[in-house]
With several copies, the nearest count.
Chain A
Amino acid sequence: MKSVLYLIRRRPGIAADETTDLMLVSGVFEQRTSVLFLDDGVYQLLGLGERQSSLKALSAYDVQDLYVAADSLASRQVSADAIELDLRIVDRHAVRQLIADHDLVLTD
Chain B
Amino acid sequence: MAVLHLLSNPDALASCLAAVAEGDSLLLIGDGVLALPLVASSKARLGVLRDDAVQRGTQLPEAAEELSYADFVSWAVACRSSVTWS
Contacts and interface: CB of A to CB of B under 8 A. Distances in A.
Contact flag (A, B; Cβ within 8 A): yes
Interface of A: 7, 9, 11-13, 38-40, 43, 46-51, 76-78, 82, 92, 95-96, 99-100, 102-105, 107
Contacts of A7: 83
Contact of B85 (A49, A76, A107): A107
A105 B81 CA distance: 7
Interface residues of B, number: 24
Interface string B16-27: 001111000000
21 contacts: A7-B83, A40-B10, A40-B34, A46-B56, A46-B57, A46-B58, A48-B57, A49-B57, A50-B54, A50-B55, A51-B57, A82-B57, A95-B19, A96-B19, A99-B3, A99-B19, A99-B81, A102-B81, A103-B80, A105-B83, A107-B85
Contact of B18 (A9, A13, A82, A95): A95
Contact of A107 (B20, B37, B84): B84
Contacts of B20: 96
Given A76-B37, A77-B38, A100-B3, A47 B18 contact: no
Interface of B: 3, 10, 12, 15, 18-21, 31, 34, 37-38, 54-58, 80-86
Contacts of B10: 11, 40
Nearest to B35: A76
A2 to B, nearest CB: 10
B17 to A, nearest CB: 10
A56 B86 CA distance: 25
Closest 4 A/B residue pairs (Cβ): A47-B57, A46-B57, A77-B37, A92-B18
B24 to A, nearest CB: 9
A78 B82 CA distance: 29
A6 to B, nearest CB: 11
